[in-house]
Amino acid sequence: MTKGEEFDRVKEVVGETKARYLRPGECRSHMRRTLAKEFQGIVDGFVEAAKKGSCPHVKLATELLKPIRKNPSRKKGSVARFLERMDKERLERERLQKEQLGTESLHKE
């Protein structure tokens, strides 16, 4: 028997039961379930406040109605930028080599 189980058994015998704290994963699940149950009421209250002219509610409503960005929200990382730069440099070297080979073949003729 672990210490936690033993402690729970002692609390039951004594009659002392305390609500168990939720773990972070359980907190998120609990919040999602609660919001899902109350979502219609939340939206209705939000709309009513916006209809009455509440500036924060109207502002949020207009922001929610904007189209969702399709571009990635994150900027390129330093590694991605470095790899792009290396690729551009490689292409430029290849272009210069081809150009140099073309001019050399013209001079030999």
Residues 23-62 have pLDDT tens digits of 877 888 888 888 899 888 888 888 888 888 888 877 877 7
Closest CA to 57 of 69, 44, 68: 44
The whole-model pTM stands at 0.36
Structure tokens at 3: 């210490």
Per-domain residue ranges for the chain?
A: 14-66, 76-109
Residues 89-108 have pLDDT tens digits of 999 999 999 888 877 766 66
Cα 46 from Cα 73, distance rounded (Å): 27
pLDDT exceeds cutoff 90 at 6: no
Cα 15 from Cα 17, distance rounded (Å): 6
